[in-house]
A and B are shown apart, each in its own frame.
Chain A
């Protein structure tokens, strides 16, 4: 969970500071590599363009949410794609668990991520599949510290709408053990274990522990004590911040010239954090769900997935955030599935050499994952939003993978489902074939619906995705 996004800062001040730093660095030489991210951030908050969609709000005034749920290793194609097209379609075997929610489902065909293909980089399709999924970029092939992806769509949206809720975004996973260093064929593990990137060099690490997610959202302790524990925590943060602020100001007075600039930089950034705490205090009542805090990570995978989805439902229901990502398992995950009596690893099975028994097992795993997703959607459909619609109606939830065929590592015609109606702006209940365009176009179209402005491009995008 990312607590302190750039979006909730005083943008004008930040822009000023960051441009100053840039100019300074440009002075000492254009060759110094600067992450080329945020110098020209759209100033939609400062000068909202007239006529733009309202920020993360439906026409009926309810919150509009956006979420991405990622499953690894692609899907067995014949079992995945429905028969027919448009509104006249039949779910294939894997998607049968979604039949009851058919009216909220759009199966999306023909969306690609060309930057996940080997191109000049050779092996490493898994790292690229997850690395490009929400960024659209070709991630740098490195196992070292110089990782480089792009800012992901969820973080781009969170920057602009994050100030509306207590948390700009929520990042979840079921991977409790993270590897570091080299994972897939010379790619850093960071690409496989993260979906969100707040800067091209900074992945936003997802949280696997439901208890920590809950406490972060609502405070520690049991029902009734949580507000106080959050308040205490905030007071603590404030006393430390006050000390550091005073210390910095005292120091600044004694310094000259460039030394002073260094400390100025520090002070400006401290003030941003201060403002964020102030803003947090502005959200007067922190919701306190009438339920006990979850324990740690549950014993079975199925329970773990369920409780993480519950956290997402809770976060949306209490409007604690409007942007979420959930990495069910890292791309390339080789988890075994004893719960459905599959002892081999998922990744191993996906390289099935066309052996039918292996293919069947992968299809069962695909269906297992989709069934968990279906339960989550059912809960969202059953929960009423402030405008009387279901939360699912007021959401756009992508379920998908950055690999299409896990056996051959293809990245065209990605297995993607969009659930929800986006507050009435999208048309579910059909199987749409988009005919081979970048998935990045879809990501941009979703950002548009979130009311975000100024996003010209994302990764390999060629425009917007019409007719969603």
Chain B
């Protein structure tokens, strides 16, 4: 039935657009107003203005169709079947299509032939993008997350042009980072001593069981690694090691010996320090062949005296040589920047070579070719530097590279339009801009050489499908999974969220209030000054302390390993849909999950062993499967000591159904306040919520959120299954505001996956568009979203329908030429940005 209504809608849509622009107001009075009168006026006209909505409050037709925000709300409520309410008469599919189309064509003025691509504000690279771009451009790791302040988010994502500001502090950091990065990445000489590096892990015992990454002072070991020498000569061996003791003192001592072949280089005694660097440097004349560097650790204190621990750690060995100049070679990373083996000698040859080098680099850094004037200026910067006495050509070029990395054309994604486009038609973005949109969307980094070359030859659009396939197959596409899922499902937050395991479990068992009382009494006793405490009080205090210790028995620990497994589970679920091109409905309901032993145990799924996360077929009737019941979602929507049905409900509305609840009014009491109204017993969360929403002010919103959240009450704040909360059985049954009933979570998933699946299609489409475009979805995108949803429906929800739909859409492919529509965004649409921002 729903499918039918869709086809109908599309057909009607096609008819209506053919009508042309005549008799707009008549259109409304004749075909739309009667429907609105019969379905909406009862509550929203003639002085009855429920929810502050009045259909008859406009001063005239012009006024009526100017209010985009009003009609966008009407459209959303109508489509989500929130309005007219469940118990009232609803328009037929035909009638609904009539209203929808009138809104799209007459209010929003959408032209399906020339959809408005909207306006993306110039986007600055965010921290993830900056870090990845530096890696690909410069060949080094830069820790943007430590160096730069966090990016602001809008619409729930951190790549939104409007909110990516450049503070004075950030600019300063950019300037400093440009310098640091170039210094680290760009060689300033053409030849250096060759160097072989080895980590401590590469130093192994004869049987291979022990390596030198970390060896206890109580465990003797002999480990070695062999270095190959091709040319005879002088070599330098730099050893970077250290003593790493436990926090508390340990009497351990050990003799550390380094030998090259049979020659002892150093033998020294070491003792406990909590962190101490040990560095050696030796120069040796070596003949061609293999040379083995051996490290021996001899314990000097028997293990019986061990108190805590102390280890020797071999970090790195640099084996350099031959030291003689004639054997030197290119430093690492040299070829990334410099095409020739050596810079030429003559002045004009050097300038020419500098021009070549910089042209090549700038095209990659700016993601499009630069004009000659820019290159000439950069060459001057380089030449001014390398003309100084003692400065190399490479050092000069590196100065120019600093300027490139500080340029707004590197830090911002500048987009140009293709020429032409025809009168009144929105032009396509040019191919370089397209290359960047694709690469930052799917890889969170700069376009690679293949994309840039195709764009340069103007062949990217014609090869779009093949390139998409290649980009998704590339491992850089993991960035898309991590960053999109990380923000859409908030899996990024799993690692940091604070959950008190003991309190959660105590609450499930109905012991939380007793524990609270015991803790309060303990604190009271503890604060009595030692001089005043009575023997009875002292005794009570000792007992309380012992009780606490006893209770610190085995518990569930939401540690890093488990958190990471939860994060990976949700990411892998999404990745599976993406890579196997499955239906996105499986994100709601599936008969499989991604688990390892730890997570499976946490979920109560049997027969999963080992640390590797993998696809697991779930037992029949398992409540798991799909993101709703994934640990990451359950945990990030909880409070530190208990679940939050409200947070969970809002999460489902916002992230799955695309039905944002209005923001809470000011001065609402929190749930714990409502708890106080229960005198006779400790209320369950469901009872408390019911008390809270008995107030009319709270009811309308909570009716939307609570049934969804309460359906998840079978999962505690750690994401574990439970049958009771505070000793009372969980009652997960409920009814959606749209009328569908469910008895528990499995049934709710089925309802969402069938009856409400179009809501999910639309929601995920809007999320993906937001992420891909770097702007919020606006009323003028309605047609684009409708088209993608229709495509998903046609192609059984396959992920490719969504992804290709977004990439082929006008907003992704085109831009508003100048600023002509720039101020069309209504102030209300800004309001929406705030509501859906996840980090207010």
Contact = CB atoms under 8 A, between A and B. Distances in A.
Interface of A: 4, 6, 9, 14, 21, 25, 27-33, 142-146, 177, 180, 186, 198-199, 201-202, 232, 236, 239-240, 243-244, 246-248, 251, 255-259, 262-263, 265-266, 269-270, 272-273, 334-336, 343-345, 347-348
A312 to B, nearest CB: 24
A150 to B, nearest CB: 16
Q: Lowest 9 A-B CB distances belong to which pairs?
A: A29-B834, A31-B840, A256-B819, A344-B249, A259-B122, A269-B171, A257-B819, A257-B822, A243-B403
Contacts of B273: 336
Interface in B785-840: 818-819, 822-823, 827, 830-831, 833-834, 837, 839-840
A239 B381 contact: yes
Contacts of A257: 819, 822-823
Interface string B485-505: 000000000011010000000
A239 B377 CA distance: 10
A269 B124 CA distance: 15
Given A31-B840, A244-B403, A256 B822 contact: yes
A32 B154 CA distance: 8
A2 to B, nearest CB: 10
Contacts of A345: 247-249, 274
A199 B169 contact: yes
Interface string B159-175: 00111011111011001
B121 interface: yes
A246 B374 CA distance: 10
Contact of A255 (B122, B381, B384, B840): B122
Contacts of A30: 834
Nearest to B663: A31
Given A243-B407, A251-B409, A143 B496 contact: yes
A201 B151 CA distance: 12
Given A31-B837, A240-B399, A243-B403, A263 B408 contact: yes
Nearest to B822: A257
Given A33-B840, A199-B169, A240-B381, A28 B163 contact: yes
B407 A348 contact: no
Given A4-B172, A32-B840, A247-B408, A258 B274 contact: no
Contact of B122 (A4, A248, A263, A334): A263
Contacts of A146: 150, 496
A262 B164 CA distance: 9
A247 B818 contact: no
A258 B122 contact: yes
B512 interface: no
A180 B834 CA distance: 33
9 contacts: A6-B168, A28-B830, A177-B275, A186-B498, A244-B407, A258-B822, A272-B168, A273-B172, A345-B274
Nearest to A198: B169
A343 to B, nearest CB: 6
Contacts of A343: 249, 271-272
Question: Which has the most chain B C-beta neighbours within 10 Å: A201, A232, A259, A270?
Answer: A259
Contacts of B408: 244, 247-248, 251, 263, 266
Contacts of A247: 374, 407-409
Given A32-B163, A32-B840, A343-B271, 10 more contacts: A4-B172, A27-B830, A28-B833, A146-B496, A248-B407, A257-B819, A263-B122, A265-B165, A273-B175, A343-B249
Given A202-B149, A345-B274, A273 B834 contact: no
Nearest to B829: A28
A32 B384 CA distance: 45
Question: Which has the most chain A C-beta neighbours within 10 Å: B165, B247, B839?
Answer: B165
Contact of A29 (B171, B178, B830): B830
B834 A31 contact: yes
A266 B496 contact: no
Nearest to A342: B249
A20 to B, nearest CB: 11
Interface string B363-404: 000000000001001100100110010000000000100110
A91 to B, nearest CB: 28
Nearest to A334: B274
A343 B271 CA distance: 9
Nearest to B149: A201
Contacts of A145: 145, 150
A333 to B, nearest CB: 9
B591 interface: no
Interface residues of B, number: 63
Question: Which has the most chain A C-beta neighbours within 10 Å: B152, B399, B407, B840?
Answer: B407
A243 B381 contact: yes
A48 B279 CA distance: 55
A336 B274 contact: yes
B146 interface: yes
Given A202-B169, A244-B408, A270-B171, A32 B837 contact: yes
A25 B674 CA distance: 35
Given A251-B408, A263-B412, A344-B249, A243 B377 contact: yes
B594 to A, nearest CB: 25
Nearest to A344: B249
Nearest to A276: B172
B414 interface: yes
Nearest to B416: A254
Contacts of B119: 258
A284 B277 CA distance: 42
A21 B384 contact: no
Contacts of A9: 168
A180 B822 contact: no
A263 B119 CA distance: 16
A232 B407 CA distance: 21
A269 B412 contact: no
B357 interface: no
Contacts of A180: 146
Given A29-B834, A143-B496, A266-B408, A243 B168 contact: no
B152 A32 contact: yes
A262 B385 contact: no
Interface in B690-704: none
Nearest to B830: A28
Given A202-B149, A236-B399, A240-B399, A142 B169 contact: no
A247 B122 CA distance: 16
B409 A28 contact: no
B496 to A, nearest CB: 4
B406 interface: yes
A449 to B, nearest CB: 28
A31 B836 CA distance: 10
B834 to A, nearest CB: 3
Contacts of B840: 31-33
Interface in B260-288: 271-275, 277
Contacts of A31: 834, 837, 840
Contact of B124 (A21, A177, A262, A335): A262
Contacts of A273: 171-172, 175
A239 B383 CA distance: 12
Contacts of B837: 29, 31-32
Nearest to A258: B121
A14 B830 CA distance: 26
B281 to A, nearest CB: 14
A336 B245 CA distance: 11
Contacts of B175: 273
Interface string B446-482: 0000000000000000000000000000000000000
Nearest to A335: B274
A334 B831 contact: no
A240 B403 contact: yes
A349 B178 CA distance: 44
A143 B409 CA distance: 34
Given A14-B168, A334-B247, A244 B834 contact: no
A397 B178 CA distance: 36
B819 A348 contact: no
